[in-house]
Homo-oligomer: A and B are copies of this chain.
Amino acid sequence: MPSDQSSAAAAPGSRPSLGPLFDPRAIAVYGASSDPTKIGGRPLDFLKSSGFDGPLYPINPKAAQIQGLPSFGKLAAVPGPADLAIVAVPAPAVLPALEDCAASGVRGAVVLSSGFAEVGGEGTAWQAGITALARRSGMRVVGPNCMGLINVRRRLLGTFTPSAAGFGLVPGRISLVSQSGAFGGYCLSLIRQRGLGLNLWITTGNQSDVDFADCVEHFARDDATQVIVGYLEAATDRQRLFDALALARERGKRVVVMKVGRSEAGAQAAASHTASLAGSDAVYDGVFRQFGVQRARSIDELFDIAYAAASPAPLPRGRRVGLLTVSGGVGALMADVADEVGLDVAPMPEDAQRRLKEKLPFCGPRNPVDMTAQLVNDLSLFESNFQIMLEEGGYDSIIAFLSSVGQVSTLSTALLEQLTAVLRRFPDRTVIMSTLASPEVRKLYEAAGVTLFDEPTRAVRAVAALVAFGQRRVTVAPPPLPAGALPPPARAVNEVDAKAVLASAGIPVVRERVAAGADDAVRAAAEIGWPVVLKIASADIAHKSEIGGVIVGLRDEAELREAHATLLERARTKAPGAKVDGVVVAQMAERGVETVLGVARDPVFGAVIMFGLGGVFVEAFKDVAFRVAPFGIDTARAMIDEVKGRVLLEGVRGKPPADVDALAAAIAALSVYAARHADAIDSIDINPLLVLPRGSGVLALDALIVPAAGA
């Protein structure tokens, strides 16, 4: 993660706590309505019927009573202190109401009304007024144009979403923040339908004051929250988001987010190669990985992960997963998916396989371990198999598929007893069950702390997420910036000057120099050593190979002179407007693996680093990894591991393994340089960065630095 900033994460936020919003003593409702279907009537109706435990004060000068409660003209008239206000008055009346609140000591307000920045005009000005008031007074404001918030334990329904009608929520360890009210409401319905335990719920709407990062930070500090579910449309403040995510990770919270907009990635054209791939969506992937956040690709997956992560059971210690099944076919299916999501379906030890076979000759003993339908005739198979798999297989987690056994209460109860008995002996292991369970059986298992999925592949994917949450991350500090590092050029420079800058920043570059004329080129070749590469030197020609501006493998003076003439001719005819600085004479590099390393400037996240294998991999497969700069070599290594093309670095078809250590060091060095000069750099492309055989380092063969406009 961006290590230079995360140190701030544990410090108390500079903004006042969200505590009064979620945990008020008393609530005032501005614009309270007698009609419980209206936006100003519904929260009051919800709060009354859910049984919120504090006083409720309707504020409405036009009525003496609202929904059976005494109504007040203004907050000052209320008999006791109210620390939360729910505001449902028309947009023009919102700011005066909030001023009344702030003056009366209210510490938090939820503005449900719409008609602000989302409609523009006056609305935008009113919203700016809300932001200014919040900053000035320290009163935290949620919304406007939001669906409000919920605290399940307090039975606080500060919302008008129809999904909250009838309460129907059970307290639990999941807290949810959604930038979208509609999405938040839908999630609330899903949470009720699935019976998931919920702690806090909030939708942030126009985010005049309280934003996504505030809520993540609040949940991170909240002991009753174990899982943070987030729906993010766009991050606004890099620093506060990073601080909040760093705090959540530090405090052991399990964060799962949905961020939509994947398919728009890379849609806009951009000046440089790296920049065109830095569609902000791929950058979000990198940010989430940097902070150990799981990103869900569907709503099912969002809540599957949240459900599994909310379990009181320990997280898996590692990737080894044992699969126990009553169906060989489902076992194979689970193994397929486990393999796909990076779990290790390691086989049982030979000896243990033999013992399983002795007990049940027709079983599949390897992993998956197939008990077959015989389980129904001999329930003790379950306990003994579990025991052997944990003890001798040493699996970090076990997923047990029991078909529709979960529909039969007697069987399920007996199996649960066995399961808990075994787990007492292996308290550090994770077990997830998959069976079509009746509601009664589901309750029984969940009460015992056992996570249970109907569908076996969803169980496998959830375990993969748990494994990721359980990974201990040793964070390596970014390397120091070399003392003599040059500043980025203020305007476009040729590749030799660009590489000189990168070399000063700690990126190894090829031996080369610019030569003026053929005679100088011959001298340069003699200095560098034959054979050499000859290239056009021009800041105006970004992609030299497209005009035939590179000639390789020149072995002697004659070849060099001929190539020199050819290059100048090509530049004249194919890039007539370009200013040519001469030619570059460069060392002919050994064979290696071509990679691409780059810097782009993300509008939200600032300097981001991109890494991928060779040009066509990047173009055909978008097989690249992004991270936010700066970072250390551990993060650089994670980037290398993330791209599928990494197999080329391992040495294929008789080639030696590449120098991955040197590659990671170069990536980390570039990240430090890019972060230091984030404002002065629009983008950097190192293409190719040649990775030589292990022990021989890396070499930047070509480089392009695009300075920031106006920097």
Interface residues of A (CB under 8 A from B): 118-119, 162-163, 178-183, 185-186, 189-190, 193, 231, 233, 258, 260-263, 297-300, 326-330, 332-333, 335-340, 345, 361-362, 372-373, 376, 403-404, 407-408, 436, 454-458, 543, 546, 613-617, 619-621, 623, 644-645, 647-648, 652-654
CB distance from A97 to the nearest CB of B (A): 22
Q: Which of B328, B615, B652 contacts A653 (CB 8 A)?
A: B615
State A415–B687 Cα separation when bound (angstroms).
56
Q: Which of B233, B372, B615, B652 contacts A616 (CB 8 A)?
A: B652
Q: Which of B181, B190, B436, B616 contacts A186 (CB 8 A)?
A: B436
| B189 in contact with A407 (CB, 8 Å) | yes
CB distance from A378 to the nearest CB of B (A): 15
Please indicate the chain B residues that have their CB under 8 angstroms from the CB of A231 in the complex.
329
| A182 in contact with B328 (CB, 8 Å) | yes
Q: Which of B332, B337, B613 contacts A298 (CB 8 A)?
A: B337
Q: Which of B263, B615, B621 contacts A336 (CB 8 A)?
A: B263
| B619 in contact with A652 (CB, 8 Å) | yes
| Cβ-closest chain B residue relative to A189 | B404
Given A299-B333, A404-B162, answer yes or no on A373-B181 (Cβ-Cβ < 8 Å): yes
Please indicate the chain B residues that have their CB under 8 angstroms from the CB of A162 in the complex.
376, 404, 408
State A263–B457 Cα separation when bound (angstroms).
14
Given A182-B372, A193-B436, A373-B181, answer yes or no on A362-B119 (Cβ-Cβ < 8 Å): yes
State A498–B455 Cα separation when bound (angstroms).
51
Please indicate the chain B residues that have their CB under 8 angstroms from the CB of A645 in the complex.
616, 620-621
Given A118-B362, A260-B336, A619-B647, answer yes or no on A183-B329 (Cβ-Cβ < 8 Å): yes
| A340 in contact with B263 (CB, 8 Å) | yes
State A335–B372 Cα separation when bound (angstroms).
42
Q: Which of B182, B327, B615 contacts A180 (CB 8 A)?
A: B327
State A631–B616 Cα separation when bound (angstroms).
30
Say how many copies of this protein the assembly contains. Answer: 2
Please indicate the chain B residues that have their CB under 8 angstroms from the CB of A436 in the complex.
186, 189-190, 193
Please indicate the chain B residues that have their CB under 8 angstroms from the CB of A178 in the complex.
329
CB distance from A581 to the nearest CB of B (A): 23
State A179–B163 Cα separation when bound (angstroms).
43
Given A298-B457, A404-B163, A644-B621, answer yes or no on A260-B332 (Cβ-Cβ < 8 Å): yes
CB distance from A656 to the nearest CB of B (A): 12
| A403 in contact with B648 (CB, 8 Å) | no
CB distance from A85 to the nearest CB of B (A): 22
State A644–B619 Cα separation when bound (angstroms).
10
| B329 in contact with A233 (CB, 8 Å) | yes
Please indicate the chain B residues that have their CB under 8 angstroms from the CB of A261 in the complex.
332, 336
Given A328-B180, A620-B644, answer yes or no on A186-B119 (Cβ-Cβ < 8 Å): no
| B327 in contact with A186 (CB, 8 Å) | yes
Known: A185-B404, A615-B653, A616-B652. 9 other contacts (CB 8 A): A182-B326, A182-B329, A260-B329, A260-B332, A262-B340, A297-B457, A298-B333, A300-B458, A620-B648
Q: Can you report 8 A-B residue pairs in the complex whose CB atoms are below 8 A from each other?
A: A163-B403, A182-B330, A299-B330, A299-B457, A300-B457, A616-B645, A616-B652, A621-B644
Q: Which of B454, B616, B623, B647 contacts A648 (CB 8 A)?
A: B616
CB distance from A215 to the nearest CB of B (A): 16
Given A299-B457, A457-B298, answer yes or no on A330-B404 (Cβ-Cβ < 8 Å): no
State A621–B652 Cα separation when bound (angstroms).
13
State A231–B408 Cα separation when bound (angstroms).
25
Please indicate the chain B residues that have their CB under 8 angstroms from the CB of A458 in the complex.
298, 300
State A373–B408 Cα separation when bound (angstroms).
42
Please indicate the chain B residues that have their CB under 8 angstroms from the CB of A186 in the complex.
327, 330, 403-404, 436
Please indicate the chain B residues that have their CB under 8 angstroms from the CB of A404 in the complex.
162-163, 185-186, 189
| Cβ-closest chain B residue relative to A654 | B546
State A373–B42 Cα separation when bound (angstroms).
15
State A190–B407 Cα separation when bound (angstroms).
11
CB distance from A236 to the nearest CB of B (A): 16
Please indicate the chain B residues that have their CB under 8 angstroms from the CB of A332 in the complex.
260-261
CB distance from A157 to the nearest CB of B (A): 16
| A403 in contact with B298 (CB, 8 Å) | no
CB distance from A364 to the nearest CB of B (A): 12
CB distance from A548 to the nearest CB of B (A): 11
